[in-house]
Amino acid sequence: MQDILQQKVNKKLVGGYLFFCPDTLTLNEILLMCAKQILCDSNGDDNCPICQKVQCGSHPDVCVYPKGDAFSTDDSQSVILDANKKAILGEYKILMIKNLENSSEQSQNKLLKVLENPPKNTIFLISTTNLNKVLPTVKSRLLKVEIPPFDKQTLTQIFSEYQKQEDFALAMDYSNGYIGETKQILLDQDFLANYALAKNIVTNLKSSSEIVNYIVPKMSKNQFLDTVKFMQSMYRDIALVKSNKIELVKNKTLVSVFENISDEFSMKALVEIIKRINDVNKKQFSNVTLSLLFENLLTSILEVKYLCR
């Protein structure tokens, strides 16, 4: 963001920017921040009328696409028309295009016509979660900006209203530094239920007779993948605890729990368990009963745990 501010001050803003990271909500926030900084005389002060108009989508010099679910050839045609209209309130016109990875090759090629020679004082702010799905010719016309994950302090400030929630620390540990993932953890009850199931299995499963207590009838693919992902992360953390590498543990709220149960697992067992979970993750899930696959995985984990003592 500071680079864009400096480019604005030096009158060296380029015609188009392509922002990319794995998280859509993070990208949407970045696009808004950039639009505010470019249009606002105070460089993005959220209290100013210009920034408030950008935030609520009523600024006449900010055009947002796609109009539907995905950027289309009709959107491309509208972008070309909007790009050639002069700004109404200020010096710059902003063309904001979200999730370009969802567009067709045809619509990107049509967009290329205006990107090759953008009108003066028209700035394209484009986002994608998958850089490989943007045509090379489009990428070559834009300044690419990778958005790194936010640090924990910044995320805490963004989500300060949620700090009193019991699962706030979990969100900070598992969000990978992105807004969308943080919000999912804080608001998605299925996500929290899958985490709780994984924690229960890793910390409490002791014998094959107990496996039935952890089987979910008609387990969905998301339930399966999330629960297995959490289990893998927790077994990895137990290995780190055994190696005295506490600073690398992801599930930081469970460190004391992992310390208490770490003697139940040999390092060899943990390595093999993580490998078997990896093998399950690579399976194709069509025509597979996930509850049965999950039961087999738990049986396999117990076998490894006791064979590798």
87 — phi, psi (to 5°)? -65, 150
Contact (CB, 8 A) for 112 and 141: yes
Rounded percentage of the chain residues whose pLDDT exceeds 90 = 52
* Residue 290: other Cβ atoms inside 10 A: 17
pLDDT at 107 (0 to 100): 94
pLDDT at 285 (0 to 100): 66
- For residue 255, pLDDT over 80 is answered with yes
Same domain for 268 and 203:
yes
Same domain for 141 and 9:
yes
Same domain for 102 and 23:
yes
196-249 residue pLDDT tens: 999 999 999 999 999 999 998 888 888 998 899 999 999 999 999 999 999 999
pLDDT at 288 (0 to 100): 75
pLDDT at 126 (0 to 100): 96
Same domain for 195 and 122:
no
47-83 residue pLDDT tens: 788 888 888 889 999 999 999 888 999 999 999 999 9
Residues whose CB falls within 8 Å of the CB of residue 41, separated by 6 or more in sequence, listed in order = 48, 50
- For residue 286, pLDDT over 70 is answered with no
Same domain for 143 and 9:
yes
Distance separating alpha carbons of residues 126 and 31, to the nearest angstrom: 8
Same domain for 226 and 170:
no
pLDDT at 91 (0 to 100): 87
- Mean of the pLDDT values across residues 76-93? 91
* Identity of the residue numbered 41: D
CATH of residue 143: 3.40.50.300
- For residue 11, pLDDT over 90 is answered with no
Same domain for 300 and 194:
yes
Same domain for 141 and 154:
no
Give the residue numbers spanning the domain of 162.
150-187
Identify the top-confidence range among 74-78, 116-120, 165-169, 251-255.
74-78
Distance separating alpha carbons of residues 86 and 291, to the nearest angstrom: 59
Total domains, the chain: 3
Same domain for 22 and 63:
yes
Q: Return the closest-CA partner of residue 50 out of 14, 9, 96, 92.
A: 92
- For residue 186, pLDDT over 70 is answered with yes
23-45 residue pLDDT tens: 998 999 889 988 988 888 765 56
Contact (CB, 8 A) for 92 and 122: yes
